[in-house]
Structure formats: C-alpha cells, structure tokens
Amino acid sequence: MRRRLWLVAAALLVLLAVLILPPLVSISRYKSQIAHLISASLGRPVHLSSLHMHLLPRPGFVLYDLTVDEDPAFGAEPVLHASSVTAVIRMLSLWRGRLEIDEISVDDASLNVVRTPDGRWNLDSLLQATASNASKAADGGKGRALPLPYLAATNSRINFKSGVEKLPFSLVDTDLSFRQASPGEWRIRLRGQPARTDVSLEQGDTGIVELDASVRRAPDLRQMPMHIDLDWRNAQLGQLTRLVTGSDAGWRGDMRGELHLDGAADAAHITTRLRATGVHRVEFAPVEPMDFDANCSLVYHYSARAIENLACDSPIGDGHIHIAGEAPGGGAMPHYSVEMDKVPAGAALEALRTFRSGVDPSLQAAGDLSGKIAYAENPEPESATNKPEAGAKRATASAAKPGSTAVGPAAAGPLTGSLTVEGLTLTGGGLSQPLQAPKFVLAPEVPKPIATKARKPAFAPEPQSEQTQALVGEVALPAGAPVPLNAIMRFGPEGYQVTLRGQASIQRGKELAHAAGLAQAAALDQLAGDSLVADMIAEGPWLPAEDNLPAEANPAASDTAEQASGDETTPKVDSLSGTVTLRNANWKADYLANHVQIAEAALHVDESGLRWDPIEFAYGPLKGTATLSVKKCATPAACSEPQVPEFTLQFGSLDVAKVQTAILGAHAPGTLLSDLINRLHPSTAPAWPRINGVVKVDSLLLGPVTLQNASFEMHILPASVEIASLDGTLLGGTVHGSGTLTSGDKPGYALTGDFAALKPAAIGQMLGGAWRGGSFDASGKLELAGYTGDDLASSAKGTLHFDWRHGSVSGAAAPPALAHFDRWSGDAAIGGGKIALGQNEAVLGSRKSAVDGSVTLEEKPKLTFAAKPAPAKKP
C-alpha cells in the first residue's frame, strides 16, 4: 500500500511539475544557447524566431521559423528552412549543468542541395563540420564541440540547384534521417518521390526513391568510406521520360533501378541493375512487350572523373550482350567494346518500335546478330597477324564501289570489328511475301574529309565530319523485279542512313513503303503497272526531335537549335530524298470513271515535300503532261490541317466533245454516263480531294468557237470546283472570267466573264452574217446545269451587256439601223434556250434606234432579227 501511495504521489508531483513549472521557467535565455548549439553542430549560422518548452512525452523545445544559412560560396538562399522544429533535450546533460540536444525533428521543411560548376557540393562542408565535431567529441576534451544530434525530417522537400540557378527537379514527400551510429560513423536514410516543377506529371507514376547509406570518418572527404544502397522502383516509363526530358516520349512500361556503392569517393566500387517490364509504345500493346535486365559494375574515381573495369551484361531473348570499357580521365580518351552473341533481330525491331513511332506493330523480324565492335581513339597499327575479318573486308570493299557512300578503309578510325546479321526475315506489316536477307556484315568505315564545301549533287548523301564513323553494310533485296534493290546501311552514333537503289515491282514498293512507316507511302497506293526504279535515301536521328517541347522545359533546346543551324552535315529530323521513276503504269481513283494511263512519271522527294514532275499521261482520248506537288509542313503547328496538293495540266489541242466523252462516257443509258450520274449524286458520290491547280490548253474547241491559249486556275473542293480565273483568246479578242461548279442531281455551273476587243468578223462568221467594224466588248453572267448540250442550253439563264463601236451588219435579215452605226450597245437576257435582245440602242449621229432579235443556243447558233412592222398610212 505504501509503495502504491508513493507511486501516486510521484505521479501527482510530475503532473504538477508539467502544469506549473513550464510557465514559471523563463526559456527566452535558452533561445540563443539552442541556436548556438545547432549552429556549432552544423557549422552554419542558425536563426529562429521563438521557442517554447514542453515536458511530455520527452522534455524539449519547439522552435519556430528555423533557418540555416548557406555558405556564401554556394549562394544566398538558406540551405534549410522549417516552420517548426522539435528539439529533444539530453536529460543526463542537465545533471552536468549543460544543455545538450539529443534529437531534432522537422516537418514540412525545405532543403537545398547545391552543386557548383567546379563540382563542389554544399553538403560537403556540413559533413566536414560533423566529422570535426565527432573528432572533438571523441577526444573528450572540456569545452569541446558536441556530436551532431539525431536529425529527422518528414513530409519535406529537397530542391536541387546548379550554382545559383534552381533546377526544376526535386524530391517531394520526403522522409529523411541522419544519425551518428557510433563515434565516427553516420547513417543516412531517405525516402522520397521525384518531381519536376515546370511540367505536369502524374505524381504517383514517377516512382519512389529510397536510399540507405553509411559514412565513416576520414581526414579528407574523398577518403571517407561509404556504403550506399539506392533503389528507385514503381516508375512508369512515360512519366519517367517527362521527368527527365520534360516531354512524354511515348514509352510505356515499368522500370526499377538499383545502385550499390562501396568504398571512398576516389575509389568507389559501383554495381547497378536496371530492370524494365512490359516496354512498348503508347500507340499499341504488342503480344510480347520488350523486357530487359541489365547488370553493370565499375570502379569510379571522383577526383579524376575516371571509370575503370566497366562491365555490363544483359540477356536478350536467347542471346546475350556484353559491354566493357574504361574512361581513364585526365584528358585520356575512353575505350570500350560491345559484344553480341545471337541477339535476336526481333529485339532490335522492338527497340526501334519502342523508341520511334510509325513502325507497323504487325511487322515481325527473325534472325540474329553476332559479333564485336570496339572503340579506341588511338588504336594500335594493325600487325601482319592481326588481319580484319573476312566479313569486314567484304563490307569495306562493297562500300567502296562506284556509287556507294562508303569511303576509306575499315581500320582508319577508332571503331574496329564487325557485326554479322544472319537469317534476317521480315514478315507482317502488309508484306505479301517475307523480305529476306540471308547474311550481311556491318563493319566500320571512315568517310574522306571534305576539303572544300562544293555544291552537293541532288539527293547525294550528307557528308560527314572527319571524326565521324559509322557501321556500314550492304545487302541485295529481291523486290519482285528483274534487278534487286541494293540497300546500303549506315548506322552512326547520332543517327541512321539507308540508301536504296534498284528496281521493285509497284506492289512490292508499296508494301515496303508502308512497312517502313513512310508518310509518303500513300502516293503509290493507287498505282499499278511495270516495275519502278528507285534511288532513295532515308536518314535521321535515333530519337525524334522534341519539336513541341517548350524552351523552359528543355534547357538544351536552344543549344540544339544553334548546333543544328551551324552543323549542316548532321540530320536532326527524319528525312527522305530521292526519285522514283514509273513507266507504263496506270492510276485509278474512286472519283474518276476511268484509269489514267501513265507513259512515264518521276516522283521527286526532298526536304520541301514530294513532286511528280513530269507526268506523261493519257485519259481516254485526252493526252497531256502534268505535275503534282505536296509541300511539307514548315512547322508541326502548320500540320494541324492537311496540306493542299497543287497540280498543273498541259494539253495541246482539245475538243470539248472528246473531253465530254472521256469524262462522262457515251450518251446512252446503261453506259459510263449512268455510272457517272450515280457517282456524282450527293448520297453516293466519292468526295473529291482538296486540290488546287492550273489547266493550260493551247487550243480548246468549244463547238463553233475555239479558245486559244486557255488557262484555268481551279480550286477543287469535296463537293464543288471553284474557277478562280479563266483567261484566253476568243474570236480574235480576250476573255477573262471566273465561276463555280457544284454537284447535285445534276452538276450546276455559275460563270461570269468579260470579253474585250472581239473581232466582229469572227462573231459574224459564227452567227451566220457579215459583221464589220471596230472592236466588240461584252460582259455577262450565266447559270446552267446538266450533262448534255440540250440540258445545258435549256437550263441556261443569265444576262449579257455588249458595246460595239463603228460597225455594220449586212444581210437580208439585218435591220437598217445596223447597216452602219457609230455605237451599238445594250443588254440581253439568257433563257429558254435563247439570248434575247433587251433594251439596246444603235446610234448614228443624232439618230437612235432599237433592235429586236435573238440568238438560238444550238450546236450552230443562229441570229435572227424581228421584222419591223410597216408604218400605218395617213388618213
């Protein structure tokens, strides 16, 4: 019972002390002492605004607005700021009459990690201060500095800076602890989520970073023994690329990375493991997504910035890849090697499909790659016994053939070795038959240096700098033609280049273009005929350019643009250039009634777009030449709407009747005319493509008249045609007009025209009379609809205004007022198959007369005048 009473009394005393003592104790005098203790432990000035004391659950202080100043060498922004901090007191130190802090915990703090351009970190001085304090504490001297208290942070943020510039990268929701495990040894634990401030991220998909490290005391920071375990897991590839580059590269899959470090900074043994599962592009989910598991080991020397004993291994399918090398540092050039052993070609295709969009997801590859490629900046001269492999010899010899882009021997540069591709077979992707290359070799070559910057021949491969090397291979690909396609491949560190020269059937050419994902492939879709002749070069970077990436999210964008403007030899975007020549082919479109026979056509592709020029064609009885061009978008924003193609058509002599026969077909039921009527009906008509162009005709026969040097500027729309301008010479004068053609149950026309300086003699010959005199001018508007001449004549309606000076009309039916006149002008109405004279006036001196007459709209028009009634006799 006494023991229980004592316990109750002790509890009451503690409770009274907790309630009564804190308000009675003046803690303001501890403010500067606590700030001094933290400052001495961290080696940095510390400021706080206020504090209060608490006894439960452990005696300590709550500090408000704690700020730890930065070393001026790293900037002016505080290294640490926290709104509130809890500092727990060491109870035993109070018995010795000293105030010591055992633990400091912060919540919602902000920590800045700074690295200067010369490679120094602001945390170096903090670790140096703690190491110095630990050394003094271990000596046990009186008045010496005290060991660093246990530091813990929760829900905090770690910002990263490069000098005075704050980077967009940070760790959020971070839990951090820093404690002294034993004299001279510290333990660091961290858990946080990577974030980026200048782009929108799905925060949960950037993964979780966990770090567990231990550091031991040493006289110099670079000699401090360390053990670091770093784990980055649950990262989604799309958000990971947005985090690293600022934009989504279109990759999907799960990524996990591990890093383990043992040793000091100047001799750190590092092992890493990078695993990825379900890697694919966002556009499709393949049946077997790409997985890889790469393990690397190396020794890193921080002071020399050197790497030695680098070794990376990764199984890929049934094969294996091994990378080894060293980077000595100190100005010495690195050397490394890549060795492949039966690496599946399908894995290379999956990697290409993952990094690049536009590759057909159904395309499959079989075969494997084996060999070794080594890089050494200053390779030793080849000895007599160290001869190149036979495959490398063949690749070098073939690359040196006339017309080949390969120049220079294989051993002239830092790259040596070769890769052999065996049993390559491509299927799917719309290929009716597999594309096979039994065996070919990729070997290094060095282009000859360019002495002068001469004009580059059209569609020639881009020259490369003297220091650039590429892997070159050549293979013949049967493509359904008497002569195979010869493919020369160049794979360099910055990009690729593939040259195709030879023949291919049109069907095989279309299949290859679509399988390669070429945007211009649609230009061949509706072609058939003999084999085509190709001379094409495709080149570009391995990774697509980030055209849509804002400058603030991609600091390297401006530098890349400057390099692109100053370096004309390195392709920065995908490009396709060259020519494709067709002979004896035909082209058929849904909106045409017949095939277009092509005697010869040449397709030119370059950086401006594609251009068919010239095209020698026949469409029924119509024969002429044409050009067709589609310009490439200058910027991605300009591609928001499809580019409108432009064409030109050139004819010699044309008869409208033959044009009608070619386009409409015979005038009989059940023939092409009825098919065309159904084709043009709004509910069934295939839409015409949007296209602009000019049609030129040397001589156009329009029934009784001929239009010379005619030029029509046209805008073809899905359901109508706009004739922006019509120009030519007619009846000895000129005509300028415009109009529209609209589809419906019957095609409708709306035309306006101005006629200038027409010759009266030509008009009279057309209308069956003798006309003489000065020039004849007219203007008018006309609307008509139909398929046949009778339909057009009967539906025609409009107005006409004419003006004729100093003329005469002779003939039995001509009225006396037109026998000779100074001016005849007036208006006419078009309708009912006639052009009827309306208000008009023939002037001769002071005499003015009106004329009544009409022109019938027939195949041979005829002008008739109304007889003038006889004057009534006087009574």
- Rounded to whole angstroms, how far apart are CA atoms 372 and 343? 12
Alpha-carbon distance 818 to 772, whole Å? 11
Pairwise pLDDT comparison (355 vs 67), residue with the higher score: 67
| pLDDT digit string, tens, across residues 811-845 | 757 888 888 999 999 999 999 889 999 999 999 99
Q: Per the structure block, which two tokens stand in for 427?
A: 């299927």
Confidence of residue 14 (pLDDT cuts 50, 70, 90): low
Which pLDDT tens digit goes with each residue over 691-734?
999 999 999 887 778 899 999 999 988 878 899 999 999 999 99
Lowest mean pLDDT across 270-279, 315-324, 410-419, 695-704: 410-419
CA nearest to 776, candidates 710, 847, 840, 824: 824
In this prediction, residue 329 carries a pLDDT of 81
∠63-67-72 over CA atoms, to 5°? 160
Q: Which residues pair with 829 in a beta bridge?
A: 799, 836
| Predicted local distance difference test score (pLDDT) of residue 748 | 84
Comparing CA positions, the residue from 475, 559, 466, 577 lying closest to residue 520 is 577
| 3-state DSSP assignment of residue 183 | coil
The pLDDT score that the predictor gives to residue 132 is: 61
State yes or no: pLDDT of 275 exceeds 80. yes
Three-state SS at 143: coil
- What DSSP state is assigned to residue 570? S
Contact 253, 279 (CB under 8 A): yes
Report the predicted TM-score, pTM, of the whole model to 2 decimal places: 0.68
**Burial of residue 1, with CB atoms counted within 10 A of its CB: 0-12 exposed, 13-18 middle, 19 or more buried:** exposed
What is the mean pLDDT of the segment spanning 436-462?
A: 61
Confidence at residue 875, expressed as pLDDT on a 0 to 100 scale:
56
Beta-carbon neighbour count of residue 32 at 10 Å? 10
Is the confidence at residue 567, as pLDDT, over 80?
A: no
In whole angstroms, what is the distance from residue 365 CA to residue 352 CA? 12
Please say if the pLDDT value at position 672 is more than 50. no
What CA–CA distance (Å, rounded) separates 216 from 577? 62
CA distance 732 to 652: 19
Cis ω before 493 (30° cut-off from 0): no
Per mean pLDDT, which range of 72-81, 201-210, 671-680 is the poorest? 671-680
Residue 866 DSSP symbol = P
- pLDDT tens by residue, 87-96: 777 655 555 5
Pair type for strands 733-742 and 821-831: unpaired
pLDDT band for position 128 (cuts 50, 70, 90)? low
782, containing H or E segment: strand 776-785
Residue type, 256: R
Rounded-to-integer distance, Cα 225 and Cα 465, Å: 45
Taking a C-beta distance cutoff of 8 angstroms, is the pair 448, 472 a contact?
no
35-73 pLDDT, tens digit each = 787 787 777 888 888 877 766 667 777 888 888 888 888
High-pLDDT (> 70) share of the chain, %: 76
In sign, the C-alpha dihedral spanning 518, 524, 525, 528 is negative
The per-residue pLDDT for range 215-255, each reduced to its tens digit, is 887 777 778 899 999 999 988 888 888 888 888 777 888 88
- For 657, the 3-state DSSP assignment is helix
Lowest-confidence region among 72-86, 303-317, 518-532: 518-532
Q: Give me the residue label for tokens 């479109």.
A: 589
Contact 711, 696 (CB under 8 A): yes
| Confidence at 637, pLDDT banded by 50, 70, 90 | low
Residue 411 half-sphere exposure, CB side, CA atoms within 13 Å? 11
28-42 vs 122-139: helix crossing angle, rounded to 10: 100
Question: What's residue 94's pLDDT?
Answer: 53
- Write down the pLDDT at residue 534: 92
Q: pLDDT band at residue 867, thresholds of 50, 70 and 90?
A: low
d(CA 82, CA 151): 13
The CA distance from 836 to 455, in Å, is: 66
Contacts of 311 (CB under 8 A, 6+ apart): 296, 297, 298, 322, 323, 324
Higher pLDDT, 448 or 590: 590
The pLDDT value given to residue 19 = 54
* pLDDT at 531 exceeding the cut of 80: yes
For the ranges 666-670, 788-792, 863-867, the lowest mean pLDDT is seen at: 666-670
> To which residue do tokens 């794979």 refer?
491
pLDDT for res 572: 64
Write down the pLDDT at residue 252. 84
Contact 294/276 with Cβ under 8 angstroms? no
Q: What does DSSP say about strands 319-327 and 165-182: parallel, antiparallel, or unpaired?
A: unpaired
Beta bridge partners of 805: 823
Strands (E), 505-608: 527-529, 532-541, 575-587, 596-606
- Of the CA atoms within 13 Å of residue 374, those in its CB half-sphere come to 12
| Paired tokens of 658 | 């033959």
Rg of the Cα atoms in the chain: 44
| Closest to 860 measured CA to CA, from 768, 797, 763, 792 | 768
Q: Backbone dihedral region of 798: left (phi > 0), alpha (psi from -120 to 50 degrees) or beta?
A: left
| Ranges 81-85, 569-573, 615-619: which has the least confidence | 569-573
Q: Is a pLDDT exceeding 90 seen at residue 800?
A: yes
Question: What average pLDDT does the segment 606-629 reach?
Answer: 88
Distance in angstroms (rounded) separating the CA atoms of residues 625 and 435: 36
pLDDT for 389: 45
Please state whether 473 falls in left (phi above 0), alpha (psi between -120 and 50) or beta: beta
pLDDT confidence tier of residue 341, bands split at 50, 70 and 90 = very high
Section 613-635 average pLDDT: 85
| Angle of CA points 552, 555, 560, to nearest 5° | 125
Supply the pLDDT for residue 28: 62
Q: What is the pLDDT of residues 361-417, one digit of tens each?
A: 788 889 999 999 998 876 444 443 344 444 444 444 444 443 333 333 444 578 889
- Beta carbons of 719 and 739 less than 8 angstroms apart: no
pLDDT band at 102 (very low <50, low <70, confident <90, very high): confident
Written as one string, the DSSP assignment of 265-292 is TTEEEEEEEEEEEEEEETT---SS-EEE
pLDDT at residue number 641: 67
- Tell me the helix, strand and coil percentages in the chain, rounded to 5: 20, 50, 30
Say what the pLDDT of residue 839 is: 93
Give the pLDDT band of residue 737 (cuts 50, 70, 90): very high
**Contact at 8 Å (CB) between 171 and 153?**
no
Amino acid occupying residue 280: H
> DSSP code of 638?
G
Decide if pLDDT at 321 tops 90: yes
What is residue 246's predicted lDDT score, i.e. its pLDDT?
A: 80
Those residues whose C-beta lies under 8 Å from the C-beta of residue 861, and which sit 6 or more positions away, are 704, 766, 767, 855
d(CA 405, CA 500): 11
pLDDT top residue among 797 and 547: 797
Query: Percent of the chain scored above 90 by pLDDT?
Result: 28
Higher local confidence (pLDDT), 361 or 610:
610
- In the chain, count of helices (H) and strands (E)? 13, 43
CA 61, 64, 67 angle in degrees (round to 5)?
115
Please provide residue 58's backbone torsions phi and psi, each rounded to the nearest 5 degrees: -140, 145
More confident residue, 527 or 636: 527
Query: Residue 563: what residue type?
Result: Q
Q: How wide is the angle at C-alpha 240 spanned by C-alphas 292 and 227, nearest 5°?
A: 75
Higher local confidence (pLDDT), 600 or 559: 600
Q: With a cut of 90, say whether residue 769 has pLDDT above it.
A: no
**Inter-residue long-range contacts of 274-277, CB under 8 Å, 24+ positions, other chains counted:** 276/237, 277/253
Any idea what DSSP says for residue 554?
-
Per the CB < 8 A criterion, the answer to whether 103 and 88 are in contact is yes
Confidence of residue 803 (pLDDT cuts 50, 70, 90): very high
pLDDT value at residue 797: 93
Decide: helix, strand or coil at residue 634.
coil
- Reported as a pLDDT band with limits 50, 70 and 90, residue 658 is low
Mean pLDDT of the chain: 78
Strand-pair partners of 580? 534, 603
